[in-house]
Amino acid sequence: MKRSDSRSASRFSALLLVIVLISSLCLALASCANPPAGTSSVPAGESQESAGTGAEESAPSNVADNTQFYDEITRKMKLEKSFEGKNFLTDGIGEATVSAFTDGDTTRFRLSSGEVVIVRYYEVDTPESTSNIEKWGKAASNFTKKCLSGAEQIVLEATAARAQHDSYGTRYLGYVWYRPQGETSFKCMNLELVENGFTDNKGINTEDYPYYSYFNEANRFAKSIQLRLYSSLDDPLFTTDPSPLSLAEFEDNPDLYYDPDTDTGAKVSLTACLTSLYVSDSGTYTFTATEIDPETGEKHTINVYAGYTSSPASGMKLGHLYKIVGNLQKYGGKFQISGLHYNAVYQIDNGDYTIAKQKDYHLTFDSGLSFISQYSQTLYTDAVVRSVKSEGETLTVEAEAFLRTKNGQKDEVSAFTFKIPASFLSEGESISEGDALRVEGYQFEEGSGVVDVVSENEFSLIPKN
C-alpha cells in the first residue's frame, strides 16, 4: 500500500470515530431533556412546583375517571391549634357533632355547649344540591356526608378569634376538621373537597387565608388530572332530561325515581297545583303540590322546595296549575322536589322550566284567611249561597264571592257553581239561600266558574243566622 493511501485510511477512521462520539453525546442530551414516561427531571428532594413546572403548566400524566378519592395533600395540613375545653363561638375553635347535613359545603353542627350552628365551609364553594341542582352537587354533598358520618371527632375552626357570620348573617364561616375512625390525625374537610375536584380554591394569597398554599396545591392537583369539576366526563348523579312523573305511580314505585344507596333522585316533570305554603324561620319557602284525578277526586301530594325569597320560585302562586320540573330529593325523611328553574315573566315551555299551565285551578273561599302575595286570582271571600239544587248524590250550589286583594277585595262580584257531595252535610243539615260557604275546590275547566269540592275537610257551612 502506498503511504498516501495509508494516511487517507487513518484520517477516515478518525473522522468516523468523531461522528460516533458526537452522535452519542446528542442522544444523551436528548434523554436528559425528555425523560421516559413515569420519571421526572426534577432533582431529588425538589418538587415540580418549586422547580417551576406547576401542575397546570404541564400535560397530565393521567386523566381521572372520577371514581377515586385523594387525600395526600389534605394529610399534609395539620390541626395545630388546641381545642380542648374551648367553644367555637367565643374562642374560635371547639368540638362539635353533626346535627344535620345540608349540602357539600354547609352543615348544621351541635357544639359541645349545646348550641346548634350552621357552618359554611370557608375557602370553598361546591355545586348546588338543594334549591338548585348542579353537576357534581349531589356527589359533593354525599362525599361530605360520608366523611363526617364516619368521623370519630369533629373540630370547628373559625376564621377569626371569634366565629363570624357570612354575608347572609345566618351561617358561620369556618374550617371543618375531622378525625376518621381509628386514626390519630385530623383532616380538613374544606381542603379535601378541593383536592377531590368538588370545588375551586376560593381563597387568595393573603393573611386572611392562612392555609392558602395547601388549598392552592390541592386545586392544582385536581386540575392536573381533570378531576370532577375539571372533567369532560358525565356526573352519574346528574341528569338534564326530566322524566314524566305521576305521584300516584311514584307512591307505589318510588325506587323507579329514587336511589336510596346514593340518596339521589331523578329529574322529573310533574303537573300539579300548589295548594299551600310553609315559610320556615330561616326564610325558606316550601309549597305543597297536589295532583288530583278529576274523575275520582283522588289526591296525591308532595313538597316543592323553592328556596329563599331571593329565588324566583318562591314567588310562584297558590292555586295555579304548574308543570313542575325539578329533582326528587329526600329531606327530613320525606320526598320533595327541588332545583326548580322558574321565571314569572318569561314562561318558557322548553322542557326544563317550571311554568304555569292554568292560573285559576284551585280556588279558596275564606274571608278569615290571611292574604299573602302568593295568592293571585285564587283567594275569594266566603261564598254567599243564592240557590241550591239536589241532583242525586250531588248538590249544585249557585253562590257569589269577591276576589280578595292585598288591600281588601275587588268591587265586582263573581258568580260560581259549586258541586258538593251531599254526604258532606251532617244529618239534618241543609244549605239554604243566604248561607255562606267556606270551601276549597277545583276549577277543572279554566274560566268556567264550576268548582268541584272534593274533600270534606275543605268544606264548611256557615248558616246565615
pLDDT digits (tens, 9 = 90+) for 194-232: 999 999 999 999 999 999 999 999 999 999 999 999 999
Answer yes or no: are the C-beta atoms of 279 and 297 closer than 8 Å: no
Segments forming the whole domain that contains residue 252:
243-358
Give me the CATH number covering residue 195: 2.40.50.90
Distance CA 451, CA 211 (A): 64
> Domain for residue 48, yes or no?
no
Do 451 and 348 share a domain, yes or no? no
**Does one domain contain both 222 and 280?**
no
pLDDT at 3: 39
Domain-embedded: residue 52 = no
Sign of torsion over alpha carbons 203, 205, 209, 211: positive
> Is 11 part of a structural domain of the chain?
no
Domain co-membership, 383 together with 352:
no
- Pairwise CA distance, residues 324 & 420, whole Å: 29
- Whether 400 contacts 367, CB under 8 Å: no
Query: Is 278 inside any structural domain?
Result: yes
Looking at the structure, do residues 202 and 250 belong to the same domain, yes or no? no
H or E, element range at 31: helix 3-33
Is the separation of the CB atoms in 345 and 359 below 8 Å?
no
In the chain, the amino acid numbered 445 is E
The CATH number of whichever domain residue 348 belongs to comes to 2.40.50.140
d(CA 196, CA 70): 6
With respect to residue 1, please indicate whether it lies within any of the assigned structural domains: no
Shared domain check, 198 and 94: yes
Q: What are phi and psi of 139, to 5 degrees?
A: -65, -40
Question: Do 257 and 292 sit in the same domain of this protein?
Answer: yes
> Cβ distance 287 to 372 under 8 Å?
no
3-state secondary structure of 308: strand
Q: Which of 230, 263, 294 is the last residue of a domain?
A: 230
Q: Is residue 36 part of a domain?
A: no
> Is 129 within a domain?
yes
Is residue 287 domain-shared with residue 420, that is, in the same domain?
no
Instruction: Please report, in tens digits, the pLDDT of each residue of the chain (465 residues total).
Output: 443 444 444 444 444 444 444 444 443 434 333 333 333 322 333 333 333 333 343 444 589 999 999 999 999 999 999 999 999 999 999 999 999 999 999 999 999 999 999 999 999 999 999 878 899 999 999 999 999 999 999 999 999 999 988 887 889 999 999 999 999 999 999 999 999 999 999 999 999 999 999 999 999 999 999 999 999 999 999 988 899 999 999 999 999 999 999 989 999 999 999 999 999 988 999 999 999 999 889 999 999 999 988 889 999 999 999 999 999 999 889 999 999 888 877 777 777 889 999 999 999 999 999 999 999 899 999 999 999 999 999 999 999 999 999 999 999 999 999 999 999 999 989 999 999 999 999 999 999 999 999 999 999 999 987
**How far is the CA of 249 from the CAs of 175, 246, 326, 355, in angstroms?**
43, 5, 17, 22
What is the predicted pLDDT for the residue at 61? Answer: 56
298 with 397, same domain?
no
CATH label of the domain that carries residue 434: 2.40.50
CA distance 124 to 191: 8
Residue 28 φ then ψ, to 5°: -65, -40
Instruction: Give the pLDDT of residue 51.
Output: 33
Is residue 387 located within the same domain as residue 325? no
> Residues 211, 292: one domain?
no
Rg over alpha carbons for the chain, rounded to the nearest Å, is: 34
- Tell me whether residue 8 is in a domain: no
pLDDT for residue 76 = 98
**Strand bridging mode 299-308 / 284-292:** antiparallel
Count of structural domains within the chain: 3
- Which residue, of 358, 377, 406, is where some domain finishes? 358
Same domain, 167 and 98: yes
Q: What predicted TM-score, i.e. pTM, was given to this entire model?
A: 0.75
Q: Residue 394 has which C-alpha cell? A: 250531588
Judgement on whether residues 311 and 391 belong to the same structural domain of the protein: no
Q: Which of 315, 341, 358 is the last residue of a domain?
A: 358
